[in-house]
Each structure stands twice: as C-alpha cells, then as structure tokens.
Amino acid sequence: MKIRSYARFLLSALLLISVIGVSASYAQTKAPPSAGQAILEAIRINEPLDFCGEPVPLDDPDVRERLERELLVSLDNSDDIILWLKRANRYFPDVEKVLKAQSLPDDLKYITIAESSLRPLAFSNKGAAGYWQFIEGTGKKYGLEISGDIDERRNVHRATQAAVTYLKDLHDLFGSWTLAAAAYNMGEDGLKSEMLIQKVNNYYQLYLNQETQRYVFRILAAKIIMSNPERFGYSLSKSDLYAPRHSETVEIKASEPVPLHIIAGAANTYFKIIKDLNPQIKYYSLPAGTYSIHIPAGQAAGFHERYEKLLADWIALKNDSVYVVKKGDTLTGIAKQFNVPYRALTIWNNVGGRKISPGDKLYIFSDSLKRESKP
C-alpha cells in the first residue's frame, strides 16, 4: 500500500474511532459512521473563524466550499501534516517572537506552512526560496543578502524579519491582512489591478488566479489543523516533536574565504552542524566579509582563540599545498596525478567547470604533492 494511501486510511480510522467514542449509548443504538462520514464531521466548521482577527464569512456557501476543499487536500497529505507539527516546534517560536516584537497577528506564522512547509531549502520554479519563499528582487528590497555564496532567505530569523516588514507594508497598502496575504502571494501590483478592474476590495469576493484564490484558504486550513491536531487524529507527544536547535552567535571577520570545517573545529562540532545552523551559507566556505554565525550553544567561550589558531594552521597548510598549472594540464589529469577526487579539487579551488591555464595556482591537499615538491 502506498504511504499516502496508508496515511489516509490511518487518518480515517483514527477519526472513526474518535467519532465512535463520543457516545457509548449512541454506538449501542446506531451503526457507527463510515470513514467518509468521520471525515465529513472533522471538516465541518461550526465555530467562528478568523484570519488575523478578520472574520471569515463562512455563511457564504462559496467560502465554505473553498475552505472545505483545502482542508480535504491538506488532510489527504498526512505525511505533510505530521512534518508541519514536528517542524513547528523547532521554528515557530522564533517566528512568533519576531511577530510579537512587531505587535503583529500570530496567524501570520501560518504563511510559512503554505509557502514552504517550514523547509529552509525550499525552492520554487519561479526562483522563490526559503521559509517565506521570497523571490530575489523582493528579498533584496527588504534587506536580505542574496549572492552567489550567501542566501539569507534560508535563515529563519533574517527571512522572518524581512517578511514581517513586507507584510506590514502590504497591510498599510491594502488595509487588510487577508488582502495583504493575497498580495504576498501574487504581488501588490497584480492584486491592485484586479481590485481596480473588478471594483471589489474583498478577498473572498475577488476572482483571482487559482493559486491566489486558494492561498488564504490553504493558510486557514493549516491554522485549523495545527491549532487542534487531535481533532483530526494527530496526537503527538513532546518527544515526537523536533527540538529547537539551541545556538549562540559569534562574529567572524574574514579577509578571504574560510572553509566551514575551520569554523566547525573552533566551535567543537562538525561541518554538518554549522550548515544546519546557518543554511544561508550555500557552499563549503564562508566568503570574505563580516558575518554573525550561529554555533552550538555553550561554544562561544574561547571560540575566537580556537578559530585563530585553526585558521593560522590552515593558511600555513595552504601555502605548502600550491600547485602551478603546466601546459597541457587538465583538472581531471591533475586529480588523477595527485590521487585526489576531482570534486574535492574543484571545491578546494572554487573552479567548478572553469578552464584552467598555465600559471594558474591550485591548492591540492595531498601527500603526493608534498613528495613531488621536495628537492
């Protein structure tokens, strides 16, 4: 049985058990409801619903239909919901802290679910990236560094700060958080055009592209499910949730690119942890410049002393590992000559598929090079 089909079967079973258990006397006098009926009961929203304090007009049959559709689509992806709930424990506290500091509605955090399912490396075919799915132009406009080596759209704190500022601007422009969310999805110019042409200023009454017509309802579905997961058969214990990554920041001033393994060594950890804590660093080195870097909690004391020593050792090793390209050399041939992987050679020298020329200097960390260099 496919995972998704199995997950849906499990959800139906849990909902069925939940409905059956509501009343023992009911179960004795009537046949238990079907799995389909249990799902119908679960998506029936009778209580008032709002987005950022703005009422959702559930008395409108079209609005109720659109909401139910997104609830059903979401509930058909049980694996996604489980990951939402697990990841939220790691990332929502940081998002909530930024929202609270700016006195903004807590509901805005659910935009990250609709945008990226809280995946730092999420990337769309339109070039949007990170938790809040900024496109490059908008991200840079709101202060995010997006370059060949650094992409702060993938940093939850920096991206949330930018998203909050953008959403505030959209709210000031449209006077509504619901419209601000729609504009966040389709762009403010596109939404303004539709409102002007249709002479409508209410999101629920606008005819928009399909993605934006569904967008706020996807956010609402995430809010409904995540606010009361037990209602839909998801009962996670504290141990089920992904723990926050506790860290502290250090400032690094680099006059040249610094391999992340140097930073990892100074932080008494390893490469993967530095990458996980700093997903904005795209490759294997921190580029030249000044950066605030997250390292594991408790490792800031003595970090800079360890860093300076490891960096000095690294620079000395680099200076002793230089190979001057000769006529007829190729990267493949050099890698074979010194018994190093081709990929490692390209990463050490940041050459990728670039051609090399006689006189170019390459760093090759190989005992074979040292032996060849000896007189």
Question: Which tens digit of pLDDT belongs to each residue from 253-284?
Answer: 999 999 999 999 999 999 999 999 999 999 99
Tens digits of residue pLDDT in 212-266: 999 999 999 999 999 999 999 999 999 999 999 999 999 999 999 999 999 999 9
What's the mean per-residue pLDDT of the chain? 90
Distance in angstroms (rounded) separating the CA atoms of residues 144 and 236: 35
Cβ partners under 8 Å of residue 282, min gap 6: 148, 149, 150, 151
Place of tokens 């993938």: 154
Q: Is the pLDDT of residue 147 over 80?
A: yes
Give this prediction's pTM: 0.85
Distance in angstroms (rounded) separating the CA atoms of residues 267 and 301: 9
Q: How much is the average pLDDT of 29-50?
A: 76
Distance in angstroms (rounded) separating the CA atoms of residues 328 and 339: 18
Which pLDDT value is given to residue 27? 45
Which pLDDT value is given to residue 24? 44
Distance in angstroms (rounded) separating the CA atoms of residues 40 and 89: 28
Q: Please give the structure tokens belonging to residue 202.
A: 């209410």
Distance in angstroms (rounded) separating the CA atoms of residues 259 and 179: 45
The single-letter DSSP state of residue 32 is: P
Q: Please give the structure tokens belonging to residue 92.
A: 């929502």
Tens digits of residue pLDDT in 361-375: 999 998 877 555 544
Q: Structural domain boundaries of the chain?
A: 75-239, 247-319, 322-373
Distance in angstroms (rounded) separating the CA atoms of residues 348 and 350: 6
Which pLDDT value is given to residue 121? 93
Which pLDDT value is given to residue 375? 46
Tens digits of residue pLDDT in 188-206: 999 999 999 999 999 999 9
Q: Please give the structure tokens belonging to residue 128.
A: 């949007």
Q: Please give the structure tokens belonging to residue 236.
A: 């996670």
CA 223 to chain centre: 18
Whether 247 and 295 have beta carbons less than 8 Å apart is answered as yes
Sign of CA dihedral 226, 106, 117, 180: positive
Tens digits of residue pLDDT in 281-326: 999 999 999 999 999 999 999 999 999 999 999 999 999 999 999 9
Sign of CA dihedral 164, 165, 169, 170: negative
Helices of type H across the chain: 3-20, 24-29, 35-43, 61-75, 78-101, 111-116, 136-141, 156-174, 177-186, 188-198, 210-227, 260-266, 271-277, 303-319, 331-337, 342-349, 367-373
Which pLDDT value is given to residue 5? 53
Distance in angstroms (rounded) separating the CA atoms of residues 200 and 202: 6
Whether 155 and 278 have beta carbons less than 8 Å apart is answered as yes
Distance in angstroms (rounded) separating the CA atoms of residues 143 and 42: 42
Which pLDDT value is given to residue 20? 43
Q: How much is the average pLDDT of 339-348?
A: 94
The single-letter DSSP state of residue 63 is: H
Which pLDDT value is given to residue 14? 54
Which pLDDT value is given to residue 2? 46
As its CATH architecture, domain 75-239 has: Orthogonal Bundle (1.10)
Question: What is the DSSP track for 102-155?
Answer: TT--GGGGGHHHHHHTT-TT-B-TTS-BTTTTB-HHHHHHTT--BSSSBBGGG-
Distance in angstroms (rounded) separating the CA atoms of residues 29 and 32: 9
Q: Is the pLDDT of residue 32 over 50?
A: yes
Angle of CA points 139, 142, 145, to nearest 5°: 55
Q: Within 13 A of 335's CA, how many CA atoms are on the CB side? A: 13
More confident residue, 273 or 3: 273
CATH topology for 322-373? Answer: Membrane-bound Lytic Murein Transglycosylase D; Chain A (3.10.350)
Cβ partners under 8 Å of residue 328, min gap 6: none
Bridge partners, 323 (sequence order): 362
Place of tokens 């006059």: 255
Distances (CA, A) of 354 to 347, 349, 350, 360, 361: 12, 10, 9, 12, 13
Calculate what percentage of the chain has a pLDDT beyond 70. Answer: 89
